[in-house]
Amino acid sequence: MSLNENIISGDQKIGDSNYSIKWLLQTLNVYDEQWTFGEDIRVLTALPQDVLISKDIGNTSNIYSIRLTVGDRVYHVAAKMIASAHNRELAFYRLASEKFKWLHCPRFIYGEEMSEKQEGVVLMEDFTGRCAKGISRFKGFSKKQVLPIVEDLVRIQCQSLNLPKLEHTYPQINSIVQAISKCALMSSNTLATRNLSWFTSDIIEKIAENAQLENLLSLYYPQTEKFGMPPVLVHADLWPGNLLWEKKDDEEEPKMLAILDWQCLHAGSFTTDLAVLIGVSMDGEVRRKEEAAILEYFYQKLQEYKKLVNDMEVNVTFEQFENSYRKSLRYAVLPMVMTVVCNPKEDVPEKGKMEGILTKRLKLLLEDVFGK
């Protein structure tokens, strides 16, 4: 088949999906104002290219970077093939495109929910060309890197209080909570086989206790009367793999480009994401040094953005906020344990050392949550 015939047919599929290039052009023509070339497949002057970019990054969905060429113009779009568990993520991207346009996340173009009759898909901005290259996802974050993420979290939390029936629209997803419970228990048992002197039976017992469904839900729960903050939108999976970074030549360290993978989104505690962010993504020594300043920054931004809340007053004392954070840090232990066990290649000890960076990060977090 000649190049021209292949392009004109439009039957080429996006990766292993059921969606064709012809469908893609028709969809872009309707929903993306940045695509200005119409839906006729013959406008393409080179074969469309799609590259699977989600391989080996712990993502359960296939994500493709698609390149469309029209003369000297090259258009990029990302297509994420979603399972039913990701329908919540699609709902969030639709919401963010209307209510949270300032948020660091990919520009949403179009989406279809997965159902018994069809495969699901999300079309969004492709950040492949802007992502920092050659940087480990698990290199400990600095305070400078964390603060912009904190500001996004606080702002979305405050604005989410204006959404009607928040808890009804975004309830806990039971299957995800059960999966976290199971995975945390399995990871803890696996880590126990490494015979680390500080990973004692007492620690294992405390992790198992936190991972029990009833206790896990309690750690998620906002406890408004005690901590002063109503349920807010929570990302609930803010580990390093769900953050993209951008680095220019004249910059010392990468800057946040986007927060990804909102499929665990629910109405919950305003300190869950903060605890996971700095508990899992910052090296323990850095977290201990910068924690007080980060908490102060979070609380400062809360005072600033609570003015965006329309029909209620947000009156949270710093003591309430800090106590809620300490409670959420107990939850952060679970994703930290899972991160250590599921990413052994990122946790290889340096020569002469017994522990990798992730194992050491877990050790210091456990000390601060459960004591030495």
DSSP 8-state secondary structure symbol assigned to residue 132 = P
**pLDDT exceeds 80 at position 339:** yes
Same domain as 95, residue 151:
no
Q: Per-residue pLDDT averaged across 221-237, rounded?
A: 94
Map residue 245 onto helix, strand or coil. Answer: strand
Domain boundary among 124, 155, 180: 124
- Region for 158 from its dihedrals, namely left if φ exceeds 0, alpha if ψ lies in -120 to 50, beta otherwise: alpha
Whether residue 234 is contained in a domain is answered as yes
Of 108-122, 150-164, 259-273, the range with the lowest mean pLDDT is 108-122
Contact, 110 vs 32, CB < 8 A? yes
Give residue 108's pLDDT band: very low, low, confident or very high (50, 70, 90).
Answer: very high
Please tell me whether residues 96 and 166 are part of one structural domain: no
Mean pLDDT of 189-195: 95
Please give the pLDDT value at position 38. Answer: 96
Three-state secondary structure call for residue 120: strand
171 touches 266 (CB < 8 A): yes
CB within 8 Å of 7: residues ≥ 6 apart: 41, 42, 44, 47, 48
Out of 5-19, 155-169, 177-191, 320-334, least confident range: 5-19
Are residues 118 and 147 both part of a single domain?
no
Mean pLDDT of the chain: 92
> Is 133 within the bounds of a domain?
no
DSSP string, 7-18: HHH---BSTTSS
Higher pLDDT, 134 or 128: 128
Query: Does a structural domain hold residue 191?
Result: yes
Same domain for 118 and 150, yes or no, is no
Query: With bands split at pLDDT 50, 70 and 90, how would you rate the model's confidence at 356?
Result: very high
Encoded amino acid at 285, one letter? E
Query: Is residue 61 in a domain?
Result: yes
Hey, what amino acid is at 275?
A: A
Domain boundary among 97, 124, 151: 124
Looking at the structure, do residues 226 and 350 belong to the same domain, yes or no?
yes
In a domain, 138, yes or no: no
Q: Are residues 294 and 332 in the same domain?
A: yes
**pLDDT-derived band of residue 147, with 50, 70 and 90 as boundaries?**
very high
CATH code for the domain of 17: 3.30.200
Domain that holds residue 304: 143-370
Q: Which pLDDT score, from 0 to 100, does residue 54 have?
A: 86
Going through 28-171 in order, the beta strands assigned E by DSSP cover 49-52, 62-70, 73-82, 108-112, 120-124
In this structure, the answer to whether residues 261 and 361 fall within a common structural domain is yes
Residues β-bridged to residue 259: 243
Classified as helix, coil or strand, 252 is coil
**What's the rounded Cα separation, in Å, for the pair 360 and 136?**
16
pLDDT at 56: 57
pLDDT at 350: 82
Q: Please report whether residue 132 resides in a domain.
A: no
pLDDT band at 137 (very low <50, low <70, confident <90, very high): confident
Q: Are residues 203 and 344 in the same domain?
A: yes
CA angle 61, 167, 327 (to 5 degrees): 85
Do 198 and 366 touch, CB atoms closer than 8 A?
Answer: yes
Residues 6+ apart with CB under 8 A from 188: 204, 207, 208, 211, 337
Task: Indicate if 147 and 119 belong to the same structural domain.
Answer: no
Q: Can you read off the two tokens belonging to residue 37?
A: 């070339």
Separation between Cα atoms, residue 188 and residue 211, nearest integer Å: 10
Instruction: Give mean pLDDT, residues 320-340.
Output: 97
108-112 and 120-124 as β-strands: parallel, antiparallel, unpaired?
Answer: antiparallel
Where among 69, 94, 124 does a domain terminate?
124
pLDDT of 5 strictly over 90: no
Q: What's the total number of domains in the chain? A: 2
254-273 confidence digits (pLDDT tens): 899 999 999 999 999 999 99
| Residue 353 confidence (pLDDT) above 90 | no
Q: Report which residue type is found at 43.
A: V
Dihedral of alpha carbons 126, 130, 134, 136, sign: negative
Per-residue pLDDT at 116 = 82
Q: pLDDT tens, 179-189?
A: 999 999 999 99
Helices (H), ranges, the chain: 3-9, 21-31, 87-99, 143-160, 166-169, 174-192, 201-211, 213-220, 224-227, 272-281, 284-305, 318-342, 357-370
Q: What is the pLDDT of residue 117?
A: 82
- Of the pLDDT bands very low, low, confident and very high (cuts 50, 70, 90), residue 2 is very low
Task: Say if strands 73-82 and 255-259 run parallel, antiparallel, or are unpaired.
Answer: unpaired
1 has pLDDT over 90? no
Looking at the structure, tell me whether residues 332 and 232 fall in a common domain. yes
Stated pTM of the model? 0.93
DSSP state of 348: P
Proportion of the chain above pLDDT 90, given as a percent: 80
**For residue 247, what is the domain's CATH number?**
3.90.1200.10
pLDDT digits (tens, 9 = 90+) for 61-107: 899 999 999 999 999 999 999 877 788 999 999 999 999 999 999 99
- Give tens-digit pLDDT for 23-73: 999 999 999 999 999 999 999 999 999 999 987 555 568 999 999 999 999
Same-domain pairing of 72 and 179 = no
pLDDT at 3 over 80: no
